Chains A and B, each alone.
Chain A
């Protein structure tokens, strides 16, 4: 087995082989999830805590279903309503939970790097479910699985990522993953939503959407994160949709068999036209949700194996 990490904090530390290992195992869980008997017991006896410091519906549900199907005891903690409001620091919260001996900790936090910080203080496996604008590794893995299944490969593809790149952890993880797997990545968006020195990431940057979509195999739309906006990044929603919203006319610049992706939740009529999102010939948005559960099962399975090995005293697993 080539997946040796203790935590899944980001795509950055993963090697291409490790990414392939997760995706290969995910295929197995896709099949399992489609069967009537959806249970595996690889996490039996283990406790999984989902700590979401930021509102989330789909990611939290996906992790919860993944954990339950693998036989873990899953607990959801709505951190916005809990002790953090009473002034407890992130580290104290982590130490408190750690004392309850969880095995898997799934964390979403609004600050970049906060999940790394938390992982240093606990002795269970930590999965990053999104930290600020930094990384969202399971999203990038599920996107990769979706692409690989639709295109039959995960290399030498031209992938256009469009929209609010600057505030997007999904974009960062995808840029890293697609780059590691030797794909050509383009970023499309108004310059106010493109991070500084993005061209240094090894990607091509476009502010003209039609030019950016030219010949793309994959079109990945991002949510325009209104809640993250300080205000003033774009003039208006309607101008944004006119210039950067995905509609049939703009999609025609991509390859004829290009697939359309979106991490959800979608703003129909802001970044994507509803008819495109619902076009079963082009859109793989529902499949992304399905792959999300499988990828999270695979990631937790692998981390649990490493955790067991480490606890059994088989030292070398921790890198």
Chain B
């Protein structure tokens, strides 16, 4: 059966084009793309000149299975992803217990297959129990489907442990993802040091903690030759180090969370804990530098860093409240803020949302090309709405965008040609 998407604004991140045309899908893959007179098909979808783009590939989604299913499950996260135009969730291993053995990974894969309408690509821990002491069975986990290895926000402090894990990972071609944050300087911090944190009396961390940890990681990358991805670069100060490493030909990429691209430290206001994320929100000058870095391609990947927290974990004094925000459903409209602000063109934005993350993980998705999997999102980039957090599909509703005016509605989502979400 052939499905035709006609009259669509095709957002092609590879060619970086944004033009009207049609797209033909058969058997879960893209059969043909063109302009002008569309071919015949069994099923025709008139896109009414809205945007058709490859589905988002989101690196770093926390699905709280196993361990904290009351916060998020594969079912609820999958529904949220579908509604947000995310067709591949690359899940984090910072669950309870951590995903550090092939057996736990198999549980995750099975649950994902049963419950999630979107693709799940799991990451595994880099060290056992994410304790930074012994490396996991990287080979077995890779065979079981792990697409990358990371201890999440738990930094491997011991350089010897990390260098050995990286060396071993390199021999298998495995991608190591790290959270560049000096553990000593950032201990106990819940804000970025500066005037705002000082006046609010919040324990704070210097932006320098990120650069120091990135410098350390990049030295070990140079030493071991491993494929390395920094999960979130959030400060202007870390960017030159990243640029140098890339210039020297290291196999290095970096991501940034949507919150660090669209919010700053002042949004915390009167201790609003839904704005507490890790690393903490930064200064406006950092945010602006990060947007430029995404536009220039220095930062490769935009992710949601979807971190569900229940109300109890957030209804606490700011210092004690849990960090993290849900973002699967708000990633797309929040990212479109950058387009509406003329900071970045839509196809370039989509490189960071779909093409680059897919490439980095060796996935075939993220492209609008003949032969690629038909993972697609149809959206109206201009449709305005006010976000009501109680409409979110996640089990946890901890979004910083509650009540925010946003633009960009998902009209439909397809995974392997299958229509999994229809929006209004």
Contact = CB atoms under 8 A, between A and B. Distances in A.
Given A89-B315, A196-B193, A196-B204, A201 B320 contact: no
A88 to B, nearest CB: 12
A114 B193 CA distance: 20
B182 to A, nearest CB: 16
Nearest to B318: A113
Interface in A105-135: 109, 111-114, 116-117, 131-135
A311 B198 CA distance: 37
Contacts of B193: 196-197
B199 A172 contact: yes
Interface string B260-294: 00000000001100000000000000000000000
Nearest to B197: A196
B202 A112 contact: yes
A198 B198 CA distance: 7
Given A135-B201, A172-B201, A196-B204, A112 B271 contact: yes
Of residues B199, B202, B316, which shows the largest number of chain A Cβ atoms within 10 Å of its Cβ?
B199
A200 interface: yes
Nearest to A200: B195
Interface in A195-235: 195-198, 200-201
B201 A134 contact: yes
Contacts, number: 64
Interface residues of B, number: 20
User: For A113, A131, A172, which residue has the most chain B Cβ atoms within 10 angstroms?
Assistant: A113
Interface residues of A, number: 24
B244 interface: no
B200 interface: yes
A212 B316 CA distance: 39
Most buried by A among B204, B206, B270: B270
B317 A196 contact: no
Interface in B170-226: 193-195, 197-202, 204, 206
Nearest to A131: B201
Given A89-B312, A117-B271, A196-B204, A112 B317 contact: yes
Residue of B201, B206, B271, B316 with most chain A CB atoms under a 10 A cut-off? B201
B18 interface: no
A90 interface: yes
Interface in B298-328: 312, 315-320
Interface string B387-399: 0000000000000
A233 B270 CA distance: 28
Given A89-B312, A196-B194, A197-B194, A117 B201 contact: no
Contacts of B195: 196-197, 200-201
B317 A133 contact: no
A197 B271 CA distance: 19
A129 to B, nearest CB: 15
A112 B206 CA distance: 19
A154 interface: no
Contacts of A131: 201
A89 B200 CA distance: 22
Contacts of B270: 113, 116
A134 B200 contact: yes
A169 interface: yes
B204 A112 contact: no
A42 interface: no
B271 A132 contact: no
Interface string B146-190: 000000000000000000000000000000000000000000000
B339 to A, nearest CB: 33
A132 B197 CA distance: 13
Contacts of A117: 271, 315-317
Contacts of A198: 198
A133 B204 contact: no
Given A195-B198, A196-B193, A111 B318 contact: yes
A5 interface: no
B319 A112 contact: yes
A235 to B, nearest CB: 19
A14 interface: no
Contact of B199 (A90, A91, A201): A201
Contacts of A196: 193-195, 197-198, 204, 206
Interface in A145-180: 169, 172
B285 to A, nearest CB: 13
A112 B194 contact: no
A133 to B, nearest CB: 3
Contact of B271 (A116, A133, A200): A116
Nearest to B206: A196
Given A89-B316, A112-B271, A113-B201, 15 more contacts: A12-B199, A89-B315, A90-B316, A109-B317, A111-B319, A112-B201, A112-B317, A113-B202, A117-B316, A117-B317, A132-B317, A133-B201, A134-B200, A196-B194, A196-B195
28 contacts: A12-B199, A89-B312, A90-B316, A90-B317, A91-B315, A113-B200, A113-B202, A113-B270, A113-B271, A113-B318, A113-B319, A114-B317, A117-B271, A131-B201, A132-B317, A132-B319, A133-B201, A134-B201, A172-B199, A195-B198, A196-B206, A197-B193, A197-B194, A197-B195, A197-B198, A198-B198, A200-B195, A201-B198
Ordered nearest first, which 10 A-B pairs have the shortest CB separation? A133-B201, A113-B271, A111-B317, A134-B201, A195-B198, A112-B201, A114-B317, A196-B193, A200-B195, A197-B195
Interface of A: 12, 89-91, 109, 111-114, 116-117, 131-135, 169, 172, 195-198, 200-201
